[in-house]
Amino acid sequence: MSTENEGNAVPAAPSVPPRPGTAPEGPPPGPGPSPADGSPSSPAESPASEAAEAAGSPEPSDESREPTTTAAAADRPWHSSQPDPAAPQHPGAGWPPPPAAPTYGSPAWGAPVPSAPSRRKRTGGLLAAVLVAALVAGGVGGGIGYWAAERNDDAAGSTTVSAVSPQDLKRDPGTVAAVAGKALPSVVTIEAKAGSGGMDSPDGGGEAGTGTGFVYDKEGHILTNNHVVASAADGGALSVMFSNGKKYDAEVVGRAQGYDVAVLKLKNAPAGLAPLPLGDSDKVVVGDSTIAIGAPFGLSNTVTTGIISAKNRPVASGDGSSGKNSYMSALQTDASINPGNSGGPLLDSNGAVIGINSAIQSAGSGLGQSQAGSIGLGFAIPINQAETVAEQLIKTGRPVYAVIGATVDMAGDGTGAKIATEGAGGTAAVPSNGPAAKAGLRPGDVITGFNGKTIDSGPTLISEIWNHKPGDKVTLTYERDGKERTAELTLGEREGDS
C-alpha cells in the first residue's frame, strides 16, 4: 500500500543500539558536559501509513534495543579498543587510523542500483541505494533485531568488562579517554517493559528490552530512539540507569515513529544533570573521528571509536511487524554499533553529539538465522534533525512532518521516485489543494532531483524531505513523457503519527 511519499513496504532493516549506565546523584562522577540549548532542525514527513500526503515513513525495525529478560550476558567477548596512555593523542586526529576505503552494499542489503539510461544528464554522480537497515536497539516485541538480542540474553556470563571513566588518571583534552570520561555520566541505559506493572513487579508487565539515551537538558529530558521505548509507551514501564548505578523511573513525553526519535523525562530527576553539548551535523565531513557510547548486548557504558564513513545515506529501517518504517538521511560510521546501542550518542572528537545511533547493516540473512552484529556499517540520525524533532515533542508531544502532498511509489527501479496513480484508500495521489498540485505535478511524474540532489527512489525522497521544515521552498526535478522539467514547491505539513 502506498502512502504519501511512501508506498510499498520496505524490507526489514538493521539493528539498533544499546543503552548506557549510571546517573549522577549530585555532581556527576566525571566532568560534566556543558548544556546546550539546541534549536530544532527541520522535521521530515509522515509515517508509512499516511505517506499519501507528502512524504510518509514506513515502519522501522527496532533492533538496537536489547532484551533484558535475563542478566545482561553475551557468550562472546566484545572488546573495544582503548588508547595507549603513553602514546600522544591529538583531538580529532589519528584515532582510529582511517580504514581502507569501505565497500558499500551487499546483495542482502541493496547495493546501489544503477539508474536506467536517461536522455538527460543527472546531477550528483552515482545514485545512492536506499539501505534497509535493522534498528539496533535491544527492545521488546517481535522483529529480527529483537529476536537476535533475545537469543543473546540466554547466553552464559560475559567476559567483557564495561568501560568506567577513570577517576584518578588524567587524560589530555581531546583524547578518546578524556571525551568518554566527560560524556559517560550523561549517557543512560534505558529499560523498557511492556504491559502493566512496575519495573520490579514480579507478575506485572511483559517482555523487557534495553537501549541507550542521553541527557538533553537540565530539566531531566532524555533523548533516544522511538523504537527503544515504543513497547512501553502504552501502559508499560520505563527506567533509566546512569553510569554511577543510580536508577530512576521515566515517562514518555513524546515520540515520532517516522523520525525514530523519542523524548523521555525522569521522574524525580536528580540535581546536577549535565546535558551533552550538541554539535552541528551539517558541518561533519567524511573522515571526521567519532565516538559511540551505548549498551551493546546489555553491556552498559561501552565506548567505541571510528570515523564518519559517509553522509546523507538514505536508510529505511523497520522491525517487520508494524508495517511502518522510519527514514533518515543518515550519518554512516564504522564505529562499532550493536543491538543495545540504539538511542545512544555519536560524538565528535570534541565530545559534542553529532548523531543518535539508530541502525546497522548486518551480514546476516535478515531472517533470524544468525546474530546481528557490527560489520562496520552503522547509521545515526543527524543531530540537527533530531534536535528539531525533540523540541517539537517537548512543546507539544507530537511530531510535525514536512510533506510535498503526493503519494509516492516506494518500490522504485532506481531511476527516481514515481508519483503513484492513486493514494491510500482510493484517495487522490496528488490532492488538488496540496503543494505538489500547486506546483504542477501529476500522477505518473517521476521525481529525480530535490534541491540539486539526485533522487533514485521513494525512500530517498522522503529522507530528503524530512531534513526540511514545513514552509521551506524547494526545487524539484522530474520527468514527464520522457522530458525533464523543474518545479518550485513550498513544503506543507502533517502533524502526528497515524
The catalytic residue positions are 227, 260, 342
Q: Do 128 and 112 form a contact (C-beta atoms < 8 A)?
A: yes
In this structure, the number of other CB atoms found within 10 A of the CB of residue 349 comes to 21
How far apart CA 338 and CA 440 sit, in angstroms, is 45
Cβ proximity of 288 and 280 under 8 Å: no
CA distances from 103 to 99, 188, 376 (A): 11, 33, 10
376-395: string of b/e by CB count within 10 Å (b at 16+)?
Answer: bbbbbbbbbbbbbbbbbbbe
* CA-wise closest residue to 130 among 479, 494, 454, 497: 454
By CB atoms closer than 10 A (0-12, 13-18, 19+), residue 476 is buried
